[in-house]
Amino acid sequence: MKATWDIFCSVVDNYGDIGVTWRLARQLVAEHGLAVRLWVDDLNAFTPMCPGADASAAQQWQHGVDVRQWPAAWLPVAPADVVIGAFACQLPVAYVEAMRARATPPLWLNLEYLSAEDWVEGCHGLPSPQPNGLRKVFFFPGFTEKTGGLLREGSLLARRDAFQQSAEARQAFLQGLDVEPEQGALLLSLFAYENPQLASWLDALATGAQPCHLLVPQGRIVAGLSQWFGEAPLPVGSVRKRGALTVQVLPFVSQGDFDRLLWSCDFNAVRGEDSFLRAQWAGQPMLWHIYVQDENAHWEKLEAFLAHYRRGLSDEADAALLGLWRAWNMDRDMGQAWQAARQHWPELQEHARLWAVRQAAQPDLATALVHFYRNSL
């Protein structure tokens, strides 16, 4: 009999929680043949990334996943064999009681945030014994073999390579979004939180020698973009041009199309956790807008990732990459930082591709979770 898995997702803000849990749920079904229920407390965050989903349905099947509305008033259900609380979300009290009542308690995992910091290795897989006798386990994704790995579908890099090697596939995809970049233009994507340095970057792109076409999926950064053009919020489909820069606002796309967007672009500016990781798999130069935390705790996390990511770069390219990422995240001028990065473009491209290959050599997160469960039996 198939093992059953329950994944609980509480949508706190943005699309990171649901983005990660939806990918994980689909992969567990598609690649490991598991029966997965995904409990989501706000399906309005789910429908944009799963076209065809119904935000009002209490229960629906999507890509083989049993997607459930996580109701405020919990209704009794039999707990699954494996229970994942994503990002420290608190499970319904009645559900936890039902877990305790099972003859064999489920494997209860707390799936944590992605971080490249050293302490993650020392915390990954540690138990968290609860007062009621249940034992939760903290499971940390990460970039090293002593962590739970990264979310990556088995065929991801092969699909990416096939797409990137097919000019027709790329062109057809972009045409589907009404994107027609000028010949020789650098194609860029931007998915970020509000950023005070957006204007200095746009200035640099607009005054550069090479034409740039910036694709911006609908999101929080669009307000700043509109402000730079001196306009009211630009609606989806808007195309604006200033100097060498063309900006195009795209609709919010499905996860599959977001991957294709990243694969299509020469450079991807991303944010948070889910798009951050997908941009790494895209194997193109990238820029991460990290989630801002109190007391600038995110700076340490940014530097920890950079410490891994920068390895192998020449001193010059390393300095350029550092300058760019710090400028974007520490409110420094992006103009010079962008120009410096452009000086080392071929090396940054090669480095991004190698980084993806190196990371893909490690077991992926879904597989690591399945192994962890099997070993717990």
Catalytic residue among 81, 273, 274, 347: 273
Q: Are 128 and 137 in contact (CB under 8 A)?
A: yes
Catalytic residue among 17, 112, 203, 257: 17
Q: Based on the residue annotation, tell me whether 273 is a catalytic residue of this protein.
A: yes
Axis crossing angle, helix 315-329 with helix 334-343, rounded to the nearest 10: 150
User: Min. distance of Cβ 96 from other proteins in angstroms?
Assistant: 12
**Residue 67, burial from CB neighbour count under 10 angstroms (0-12, 13-18, 19+):** buried
User: Min. distance of Cβ 126 from other proteins in angstroms?
Assistant: 5
Q: Based on the residue annotation, tell me whether 257 is a catalytic residue of this protein.
A: no
Closest CA to 90 of 72, 115, 65, 116: 72
Q: Are 93 and 132 in contact (CB under 8 A)?
A: no
Handedness of CA 289, 331, 292, 49 (dihedral sign): negative
Q: Which residues bind other proteins (CB under 8 A)?
A: 12, 16, 87-88, 90, 110, 112-115, 117, 119, 122-123, 126-133, 138, 273, 291, 293-294, 297, 301
User: Min. distance of Cβ 68 from other proteins in angstroms?
Assistant: 23
Considering beta carbons, is residue 12 or 319 the nearer one to other proteins?
A: 12
The tokens describing 106, both together, are 């489920």
Considering beta carbons, is residue 241 or 301 the nearer one to other proteins?
A: 301
CB neighbours of 147 closer than 8 A, spacing ≥ 6? 120, 121, 124, 140, 141
Considering beta carbons, is residue 119 or 371 the nearer one to other proteins?
A: 119
Considering beta carbons, is residue 34 or 302 the nearer one to other proteins?
A: 302
Question: How many whole angstroms from its chain centre is CA 301?
Answer: 16
User: Min. distance of Cβ 122 from other proteins in angstroms?
Assistant: 7
Amino acid at 58: A
User: Min. distance of Cβ 74 from other proteins in angstroms?
Assistant: 18
CA atoms within 13 A on the CB side of 313: 26
Considering beta carbons, is residue 115 or 329 the nearer one to other proteins?
A: 115
User: Min. distance of Cβ 88 from other proteins in angstroms?
Assistant: 5
User: Min. distance of Cβ 198 from other proteins in angstroms?
Assistant: 22
Considering beta carbons, is residue 137 or 199 the nearer one to other proteins?
A: 137
Concatenate the DSSP letters of all residues of 183-226 into one string: TTPEEEEE--S--TTHHHHHHHHHTSSS-EEEEEESSTTHHHHH
Cα–Cα dist 226/231, whole Å: 5
Considering beta carbons, is residue 59 or 132 the nearer one to other proteins?
A: 132
Cα–Cα dist 250/252, whole Å: 7
Amino acid at 218: Q
CB neighbours of 290 closer than 8 A, spacing ≥ 6? 271, 272, 276, 298, 301, 302, 329
Q: Supply the residues annotated as catalytic.
A: 17, 273
